[in-house]
Amino acid sequence: MFNKRTKIKELLQSAKTDIPCTVMGWVRTFRNNQFIALNDGSTNNNIQVVVALGAFPDETLKRITTGACIKASGTLIASVGKGQTVELKADEIEILGDSDAEKFPLQPKKHSLEFLREIAHLRFRTNTFGAVFRVRHALAFAIHEFFNRKGFVYLHTPIITASDAEGAGEMFKVTTLPLDGTAPKNEDGSINFKEDFFGRSTNLTVSGQLEGELAAMAFSDIYTFGPTFRAENSNTARHLAEFWMIEPEMAFYDLEDNMNLAEEFIRHIIKYALTHNREDLEFLAQRLEEEEKQKPQQDRSEMGLIEKLEFVVNNDFERVTYTEAIEILRESNHNKKKKFQYLIEGWGIDLQSEHERYLVEKHFKKPVILSNYPKEIKAFYMRQNDDGKTVAAMDILAPGIGEIVGGSQREERLDKLMERMNEMHIPAEELDWYLDTRRFGACKHAGFGLGFERLVLFVTGMTNIRDVIPFPRFPKSASF
């Protein structure tokens, strides 16, 4: 068996010494032909592999370059140097993969995030991205753990769909028809999708919610966790064309139940990362602190990363209605002094990121749950309130990024739902399968969606969403 290695993280945490062991990993540095800093991705910390002078041929030593992959066997001993408690005294070294030191892009120096985005296929080997993606893994695990403990059923919803759950129309079309103009046409000149693979027009999904509602009407509590796609031409630090969504749907829930679950959910997964990824988060906190020093004093965060995460875990979220929030924003000095790019003049507008962040970071200084939005700016499936103007919707706003969760109590009344669909020109016949959940055993139900990358952005303190997904997809970019 080839893989008889011990992970570096395990060795560095071990209290044992004078034991034989084997490590495998990638060379970070090789100093004085004696000291190899080796990393295998299990931790940001390297293990020092000590090479005795004259113990190995020169041709082997010349191949121990930055980026090379090696296997080292020997004895784990107490370290006499600073910075590590143990080190590996090497008896055998095998070069598993060479690396041309002059061509390897990741030299042992600090690289900008912009540069690392250009070589995203190699950036996993840096400390920053090692920490980010280990935290991402932990958050994903904690999500499944949370719902599993509560008895939710994990549902895989389709990636290819014929429906537009959000009604936004910004969808990627899926087709096998030729793109050279020879696709079959209808009499009016439009594409005849009956000749396509699925026999109809299909797209990449923007949400698994509608399908999730079908399952909630049988299992009571379900959740999805999968990729979603938006053909939105947004080149911002907060938008991706492909991103992952967590979408629970719960039967017998009203809006308050929904808010309670979402708050508990966010707290749980952040607490999990604080407990299990403390080392990575402390590294990222230090990185963020150095980044903040480059900003003007008024633009710096009042809390460090760890402090911010612990604050979210330990404090109740502020709950306010949309109407209350509009009044707070309208009367704020920020609005009166015209510091908002989009000034708040009256009720009914869709809040921008700058408004959401003001509420969270300046006014309440904690996460905020906004509820009861104007129905005109929300989706067709949200339950209409008795005032005739608002719907039972809620958003959770987080420091630094604004909206992190969007959800609502769903409209369970068939007549109200069909009336709203008609107002919004959504063809009822295309969603007849969805309307069956209202025809046969309807009940109050609710759900929400959490953009996973925005959560990872919040927890890691990174500032660009392209840095928290392994292979980012955005306008004019689909590398790797």
Interval 106-122: pLDDT, tens:
988 889 999 999 899 99
Q: Quote the pLDDT of residue 402.
A: 84
86-97 vs 47-50, strand pairing mode: parallel
Q: Which of 274, 166, 149, 150 is nearest to 228 (CA)?
A: 166
At 360-383, the pLDDT tens digits run 989 998 899 999 999 999 999 999
For 152-175, what is the mean pLDDT? 84
pLDDT band at 97 (very low <50, low <70, confident <90, very high): very high
Please report, rounded to a whole number, the percentage of residues in the chain having pLDDT higher than 90: 80
Mean pLDDT of the chain: 93
Q: Quote the pLDDT of residue 25.
A: 97
Query: According to DSSP H, which parts of 150-254 are helical?
Result: 209-219
Quote the DSSP letter at residue 316.
Answer: P
pLDDT at 238 over 90: no
Domains in the chain, CATH or no CATH each? 8-109 (2.40.50.140), 127-158+206-467 (3.30.930.10), 172-205 (no CATH)
Q: Quote the pLDDT of residue 2.
A: 77
**Neighbouring residues of 448: CB distance < 8 A, sequence distance ≥ 6:** 247, 248, 258, 261, 262, 394, 405, 406, 407, 408
Q: Quote the pLDDT of residue 84.
A: 82
Which parts of 215-363 are beta strand (E)? 221-229, 242-251, 318-321
Q: Quote the pLDDT of residue 14.
A: 85
Q: Is 240 exposed, middle or buried (0-12, 13-18, 19+ CB in 10 A)?
A: buried
Please report, rounded to a whole number, the percentage of residues in the chain having pLDDT higher than 70: 99
pLDDT band at 233 (very low <50, low <70, confident <90, very high): confident
pLDDT band at 45 (very low <50, low <70, confident <90, very high): very high
Q: Quote the pLDDT of residue 168.
A: 55
At 190-222, the pLDDT tens digits run 999 999 999 999 999 999 999 999 999 999 999
Query: According to DSSP H, which parts of 381-451 are helical?
Result: 414-423, 432-439
In whole angstroms, how far apart are CA 296 and each of 126, 160, 300, 301, 401?
28, 46, 7, 10, 19
For 330-346, what is the mean pLDDT? 92
In whole angstroms, how far apart are CA 23 and each of 8, 222, 464?
7, 42, 34
Quote the DSSP letter at residue 375.
Answer: G
Q: Which residues pair with 153 in a beta bridge?
A: 222
Distance CA 9, CA 98 (A): 24
pLDDT at 270 over 90: yes
At 395-430, the pLDDT tens digits run 999 887 788 999 999 999 999 999 999 999 888 988
pTM score, whole prediction: 0.93
pLDDT at 300 over 80: no
pLDDT at 328 over 80: yes
Which parts of 295-417 are beta strand (E)? 318-321, 368-374, 390-398, 402-409
